[in-house]
Chains A and B, each alone.
Chain A
Amino acid sequence: MKGNEVIAEAAIRCGCDAYFGYPITPQSEVMETLMARMPWEETGMVVLQAESEVAAINMMYGGASAGRKVMTSSSSPGISLMSEGISYMAGAELPGVVVNVQRGGPGLGTIQPSQADYFQATKGGGHGDYHLLVLAPSSVQEMNDFVDLAFQLAFKYLNPVMILTDGVIGQMMEKVELSAYKPRWTDEEVEKLNGSWAATGKKAYRERAIKTSLELIAERQEKHNERFQAKYRKMEAEEVRYETIQCDDAEYILVAYGVSARISQKAVGLLRKEGYKVGLLRPITLYPFPKSIVHQLADRVKGFLTIEMSSGQMIEDVLLSVNGKTKVDHFGRMGGVIATPGEVVEAFKTKLIGR
C-alpha cells in the first residue's frame, strides 16, 4: 500500500473519531482513501473535508475539546496555515494528531518531497513557547504503527503530536502489516478517561471545563508556561526513540530521519564495502531529539554527517548534542530533489574524510 493510504487505514483501525482535512499534494490520498472507505458506516468515524486548513485545525480543536481522537493531515504550506491552530491546541493542552507529508518550499515551493519543515515541526512552528512531540516514520510500516502511537502520546501528554513524513514515504508503496482494529471510545469511556479535562457537558459534580489558551494575568500565564515546560522535560526523559544501524564499531556516523535514513542506510552499506567503518543513527522522535546517544557517540567517533533534504536543519540539534567534541557536517539536496546513495558516499568522503 501507499504510505498515505496506510495513514488513512491506520486511523480507522486505531479508533480515531474524526478526520478533518483539506486537499493538498502530495498527501491528498489520505482523505481520498478515507472517503472511499466510508468509515462512518463501519466504526462511526467522521471524515469531513473542511473549507481550508485553518478550518480543519479548528475543527480538531472542537473535537479534541470533547475528549475525542481527532486528526488531520496536510503538506508544508497547509501546515503553515494550521500553525495558528496548533499553537492554540498546545496552549489549551488538547490532544490530536497532525500528519505533515512535507514538500519543498518556501512559499508554494514544489510538490516534490522535502524535509525542510524540521525547524517548524520541532521548534514550535506557531507562536509562543511550545513543542509538539514529533515522530518521523521512515517506512510505510511505520506510517501504520505511528498513528496509534501518536494518539497514545497525544492523550498521555495532552499535547498535539506531529507525524513528520515526506512526499517519498507518503507516495511510496511497500508491504505493510496493518494493525488490528481497536473500537472507538464510547461516550462512557470518554467520560471515564478524559472527563477530568474534556468539555463533555457540565456535570453537577465538577467545575465547568474551559478549553482555552487565554490567561491575561502574566503571573498565571507563566505558571501555565512552567507546566508546559515540565511536560516537555518529561517527554525528553521518557519518549526519546531512535534506531542505530551498525554503530557499534563505527568511526563515523550518518544521522538521518525519514526517507533520508533509507538512502543513508544504503550509503552505509556501500561505504562498508569500501572499508569505511560507518554507522547510521536514525532519530525516530525529532522532538524530543535523541541528544544522549549523539553525545555518547561523540566521545568515540571521528565525525557525524547529517543527511537531510534541506539546507541543514537537524544538524543544529546534532551540533548542540555533540557540543564541539568532534566534527559535524551536513549534506542535503533541496527544493524537492532526492539525494542518491552515491551522492551521500561522495559527500561522506569529501566532508568527513577530506578527499
Chain B
Amino acid sequence: MAEIRIEDIIKPENKVYGKSKIMTDTPLHYCYGCSHGVVHKLIAEVIEEMGIQEEVAGVAPVGCSVMMYNYLDIDWMEAAHGRAPAVATGYKRVNPKKYVFTYQGDGDLAAIGTAETMHAVNRGENIVIIFINNATYGMTGGQMAPTTMVGQVTSTSPYGRNVDINGYPLRITELLAMLPGAAYVTRQSVHTPANVRKCKKALRKAFENSAKNIGTSFVEVVSTCNSGWKIDPVASNQWMEENMFPFYPLGDLKDGERDSFEQFSVQKLKKEVK
C-alpha cells in the first residue's frame, strides 16, 4: 500500500473550505462559544462572494462587537451607543450606491438605540441592520437587556427578570416587521451548521436588497452568551433552544419590499382647505 503524504492532500483541487479574504488575521477577542465570531465570518463571506469590498462600509456598535473593525477588512465607522442606524442613514444618503450595514447587540439596538432603529426602518433606509440578540449585556458583564427573558437571572436582575419591576422582554423584530419601510425582516441563529447556512442566505439576501433600493433589511440572530449567562457553550445552545426560541421563533417575518405609495395610501388626504 502506497504511503499517503501530506503534500498529496494539501492541493488546491482538494480545498473545500478556507478563511474569507475579508477576515483579517487579528485574533477574535470573543469568548469561546460566542456567536459573534460565526456571524462575523458569514458577513465576511457574503461581502467576498458579492465582490463588494470596495463598495461597503460597516457601522460598529457599542457592546462586545465594538472593535468589529479589527476583524473585517473593509471601511468602518464606530458609532456612539445606539446610534448606528443614524450613522448608516447619513452615510447611505450621501452615498446611495454604496452598501452600508450596522451590527448591533440587544442593548445597543433595542434599548438605548430604539428610536434610531425604529425611525431608520420606518423611513425605509436602504441599509442592512444585523441584530445580535443574546438576551444580556455581554461586554459590561451580563446585566439585564431589553430582550432578557422573564425569570432570567442577570447581574441587574439577580432574582430573575420580574415583569412587575423590569417590564417585559421586547420583541423588537416583530415591531419592526410591522413598519412599512421594512423590506426584509428575519430571525436566524448560528448554533448548528444548518442554521449557519440559513443565516448566511439571509445575510446575502439582505445585502442584495440594499442594492435594489427596496427598503430596510433586518436580520436578527438569536445568539448565546455563555460568559454572561454563566453556563458552558453547549449548555448555552440548549438553553437558547429551550428558552429563547419559543419566545423568539426563527424564520422570516417579512420578505418583500417597503410599501409603495399606492399601497400605503390608506388615508387619502382631503383637498386643500381654503
Contacts and interface: CB of A to CB of B under 8 A. Distances in A.
Nearest to A46: B93
A55 B119 contact: yes
Interface residues of A, number: 39
Contacts of A208: 69, 73-76
Nearest to A45: B94
B74 A62 contact: no
B135 to A, nearest CB: 25
Contact of A46 (B59, B94, B119): B94
Nearest to B116: A55
A151 interface: no
A145 interface: no
A214 B67 contact: yes
Contact of B77 (A18, A50, A62): A62
B91 A65 contact: yes
B86 A59 contact: yes
Identify which of A58, A61, A66, A88 gathers the most chain B CB atoms within 10 Å of its CB.
A58
A223 interface: no
Contact of B87 (A62, A204, A213): A62
B93 A209 contact: no
B150 interface: no
Nearest to B88: A62
Interface in B49-80: 53-57, 59-60, 66-67, 69, 73-80
A85 B87 CA distance: 10
B74 A61 contact: no
A92 B80 CA distance: 11
Contacts of A66: 57, 90-91, 94-95, 98
B186 to A, nearest CB: 24
B78 A213 contact: yes
B91 A63 contact: yes
A212 B100 CA distance: 16
Given A61-B83, A62-B88, A202-B73, A210 B78 contact: yes
Contacts of B134: none
B115 interface: yes
Contacts of B115: 51-52, 54-55
A191 B54 CA distance: 12
Contacts of B55: 201
Given A88-B80, A202-B53, 12 more contacts: A18-B90, A46-B94, A51-B115, A54-B83, A60-B90, A62-B94, A65-B91, A66-B98, A70-B94, A200-B75, A208-B76, A212-B78
Interface of B: 53-57, 59-60, 66-67, 69, 73-80, 83, 86-95, 98, 100, 115-116, 118-119
8 contacts: A50-B119, A55-B86, A61-B77, A85-B83, A92-B78, A202-B53, A202-B75, A212-B69
Interface of A: 17-18, 20, 46, 48, 50-52, 54-56, 58-66, 68, 70, 84-85, 88, 92, 199-204, 208-214
